[in-house]
Amino acid sequence: MPQPNTSYDAIVIGSGISGGWAAKELCEKGLKTLVLERGRNVEHLKDYPTALLAPWELPHKGATPRALLDANPLISKAAGYGEDTAHFFVKDADHPYEQEKPFDWIRGYQVGGKSLTWGRACQRWSPHEFVAPERLGYGMNWPIGYDDVADWYTHVERFVGVCGAADGLEAMPDGDFLPPFDFNCAELHLRVALRRRYRDRHVVQGRWAQLSEPREIHLQQGRGTCQARNLCMRGCPYGGYFSSVSSTLPWAQKTGNLTIRPDSVVHSILYDEAKGKASGVRVIDAHTQAINEYRARIIFVNASALNSTLILLNSTSRRFPNGLGNDAGVLGRYVAFHNYRASAHGTLDGLEDRYFYGRNPTECILVNFRNLGKQDADFVGGYTTFTGGYRTRGVDAATRLGGTYKDAQAQPGPWGLYMYMQGETVPKYDNHVRLHDTLKDPFGIPRLVTSVGYDDNDEAMIRDWLTQANEMLAAAGCRDIESRDNHQAPGLDIHEMGGCRMGRDPKTSMLNAWNQLHAVPNVFVTDGACMTSTGNQSPSILYMALTARAANHAVEELARQNL
């Protein structure tokens, strides 16, 4: 029999961006909730050791030391990784997995997960993105549409604090925004130039989870105005950007209903055949290797897309020998990601008498203009383009020595514009993850095998984006334009999605319209694993909206005694 302190109303596996939201919503609604986190504890303010350090106060003045790079050749590729942020990323050797095809799995194991280091872009999906895969023949529809999540987007935006402007664009619906960060002069120039040249290309101010002007709800969270330091990935002592650690978890804690158990590696979800429900979670203590079991009426799986899939695959029983709820054999299948291989930049003459101040933590967005409602390219799916204007340091000098050169480097250099692609990819049955037959991780859990790659559609999208980017930078008046395909492996985008997708048909999907396992309805999966398709927008705010929606449904179903 379980001990009294091992029984809860709800268990949430994972404390990152969606796990934090599950905890907040469930605790607010009165459920005694246990959050299990496999990594160490991290507390807001207390555990941001580099947050206020100047570059010269860091051991290597901000340079990542060779020994750290050599010991972590994979994780050190991640955007934002450095000696000031390495403590929020895993070490390669500690968490092995098997790459059947090259796949860079970027992870951050601590309370707060990757919400401490996320990119913070928060665009809503367009209504087209929910239906385009089936309409254009490259996938299946979601079991829900934009109208099902619109109010939940608003719910999340108000609590998180998302800056942006009301732009009135079909491809990227407006939300409940805080004031945007201003364009600099180069960005404004690009916006005007593209408007003049194209009718369908719109550069808008970044929609980002930054408190440009906090509201009362944010002040109640203890968060304040973003200081435009752009040091977010160190953890923000001002609470200027949203993370689980600064926002949802402390909010849940205030209800008195939250228990967080860090250093708890989830082995599997337990299934009670007599009741036809999940009954709890088996956990390995990360330090002692002791095994504990916790019981709850509902379980939210929010361990990040691939870890959530791993846990479900490892949750076997006589009823589910191939993983929890995996009657149709689709668990681990249809894994997708965002295509980040293409980028371009150019030098912009003029505007030398214009300057900018502060470090804007947001980026401008060139809203998707491809395959919007109908196919107009030789590939399917759309792409978002992130863009910005920057000013280089230093001007040309006759010599690279002495005072003349030093004075030249103290002058602001020319302006430039950059662009990079965030492209939709097609979820395919063959792109999958599975458990290794023999190899185990340090906790005795089968290692995950990743078998995910690009396809011809991805290559066609890259070609089109590079062509369009070169054309648009030229239209803006840039010279010395350079563009490239970096050929990076999938995964480095840190937008892995799918593996436990939503759908109407249990024969082709794992989850219903409320993120419940079709076959085990008291288990909810609301992180990236649930994604039916990737769309072209940044996905995190959709995870948050789906989580809040699912939590509300779970509580209503508990009240009806349906779970």
d(CA 86, CA 78): 10
d(CA 37, CA 50): 23
The helix (H) or strand (E) run that includes residue 22 is helix 17-28
Three-state secondary structure call for residue 554: helix
Burial string for 41-73 (b: 16+ CB within 10 Å, else e) reads bbebeebbebbeeeeeeeeeeeebeeebeeebe
Question: What confidence score (pLDDT) does residue 184 get?
Answer: 96
Contact 484, 425 (CB under 8 A): no
Q: How far is CA 441 from CA 57, 267, 438, 489, in A?
A: 37, 11, 10, 23
**CB-CB neighbours of 274 under 10 Å:** 6
Question: What confidence score (pLDDT) does residue 2 get?
Answer: 47
Q: How many CA atoms lie within 13 Å of 404's alpha carbon, on the beta-carbon side?
A: 6
Question: What confidence score (pLDDT) does residue 4 get?
Answer: 52
Comparing CA positions, the residue from 304, 271, 171 lying closest to residue 520 is 271
- 289: tokens are 């290797």
DSSP conformation class of 246 = I
If you count them, how many residues does the chain have? 563
- 520: tokens are 């085990």
Q: What is the separation of C-alpha 39 from the centre of its chain, rounded to a whole number of angstroms?
A: 18
Comparing CA positions, the residue from 299, 337, 331 lying closest to residue 507 is 331
Helical ranges in 104-160 per DSSP H: 127-135, 146-160
Write out the chain's pLDDT in tens, 563 residues: 445 579 999 999 999 999 999 999 999 999 999 999 999 999 999 999 999 999 999 999 999 999 999 999 999 999 999 999 999 999 999 999 999 999 999 999 999 999 999 999 999 999 999 999 999 999 999 999 999 999 999 999 999 999 999 999 999 999 999 999 999 999 999 999 999 999 999 999 999 999 999 999 999 999 999 999 999 999 999 999 999 999 999 999 999 999 999 999 999 999 999 999 999 999 999 999 999 999 999 999 999 999 999 999 999 999 999 999 999 999 999 999 999 999 999 999 999 999 888 899 999 999 999 999 899 999 999 999 999 999 988 888 888 888 889 988 988 999 999 999 999 999 999 999 999 999 999 999 999 999 999 999 999 999 999 999 999 999 999 999 999 999 999 999 999 999 999 999 999 999 999 999 999 999 999 999 999 999 999 999 999 999 999 999 999 999 999 99
Three-state secondary structure call for residue 12: strand
Q: Are strands 338-339 and 33-36 parallel, antiparallel or unpaired?
A: unpaired
d(CA 208, CA 165): 11
d(CA 100, CA 452): 8
How would you class 174 by CB atoms within 10 Å of its CB: exposed for 0-12, middle for 13-18, buried for 19 or more?
A: middle
DSSP conformation class of 382 = -
d(CA 455, CA 135): 20
Contact 348, 477 (CB under 8 A): yes
Q: Which distant-in-sequence residues (6+ apart) come within 8 Å of 404 by Cβ? A: 397, 398
d(CA 88, CA 178): 28
DSSP conformation class of 505 = -
- 348: tokens are 């912009």
Beta-bridged to residue 183, according to DSSP, are none
Q: How far is CA 249 from CA 125, 299, 562, in A?
A: 26, 17, 28
